[in-house]
Amino acid sequence: MKYLYIIIFTILIGCADTNQSILKTDDELSSNIKMLYEKYENNDFEVSQYYIDDVITRINNTEITGFENLTAGFKAHHDMLYNNIELKDLYVHTNYFASGEIWTNAWLTWTGTGKTTGKEYSNRAHFDYKWENGKIVVVQGYFDESIEKMEIAAYTEAQNQNQE
């Protein structure tokens, strides 16, 4: 019987997975991402302390380097392309991987009204944020770009007509 307990104990110890990752929804990094989305909605881009200067941003198959380039795109949403921007159904969690990598994931529905077309848009999106030393080093976004392409085309055409 003594050997049976030793065997069971050995099996339990051997089966314990010490290479586990942790997922959190109420941690500081998840809260920071939620706050960054609130700031985006409010057209407030005084958030450089959360990003490294040369942050890499990948939107679908396009790569952008630098915090200034990232925020220029966000600002264009408010300044040139859309009114009434809202983020709905936001869900955020952060993965603390056993390897030491930390990624925050966000899912949301972006809505807005085209400034040029007047069309109301709704677009599901997913974003990933890689953290190093408490700052975002990589942003990856996945969403249907057709809405943005339509509004940019309408804006560009309107600008060209105004210059003629």
Specify the CATH number for the domain of residue 155: 3.10.450.50
Q: Does pTM top 0.75 for this prediction?
A: yes
Share of the chain above pLDDT 90, in %: 82
Mapped onto helix, strand or coil, the DSSP state of residue 150 is helix
pLDDT of residue 17: 58
Check residue 34 and give its pLDDT.
98
Average pLDDT over residues 47-56: 97
Residue 33 has pLDDT above 90, yes or no: yes
Task: Evaluate if residue 7 carries a pLDDT over 70.
Answer: no
Does residue 142 surpass a pLDDT of 60?
yes
Give dist(CA 63, CA 52) in Å, integer: 16
Q: Is 58 helix (H, G, I), strand (E, B) or coil?
A: strand
Residue 130, domain member (yes or no): yes
Q: Say which amino acid occupies 78.
A: H
Give the model's pLDDT for residue 164: 72
| Residue 81 CB neighbour total at 10 angstroms | 22
Residue 8 pLDDT greater than 70, yes or no: no
For residue 4, the model assigns a pLDDT of 54
Q: Is residue 12 part of a domain?
A: no
Residue from 25, 14, 24, 19 nearest 99 by CA: 19
Is the CB of residue 125 less than 8 Å from the CB of residue 140? no
Q: Is 149 within the bounds of a domain?
A: yes
Residue 10 lies in a domain: no
**What number of other Cβ atoms are within 10 A of residue 91's Cβ?**
12
Q: How far apart are CA 92 and CA 127, in angstroms?
A: 9
Contact (Cβ atoms closer than 8 angstroms) between residue 124 and residue 141: no
Q: What is the mean pLDDT of residues 118-122?
A: 96
Residue 126 domain-assigned (yes or no): yes
Q: Say what the pLDDT of residue 108 is.
A: 98
Q: Is residue 6 part of a domain?
A: no
- The total number of structural domains in the chain stands at 1
Could you list the residue range(s) of the whole structural domain that residue 140 is in? 20-163
For residue 1, pLDDT beyond 60: no
Within a domain: residue 73? Answer: yes
The pLDDT value recorded for residue 35 is 98
- Answer whether residue 146 is part of any domain: yes
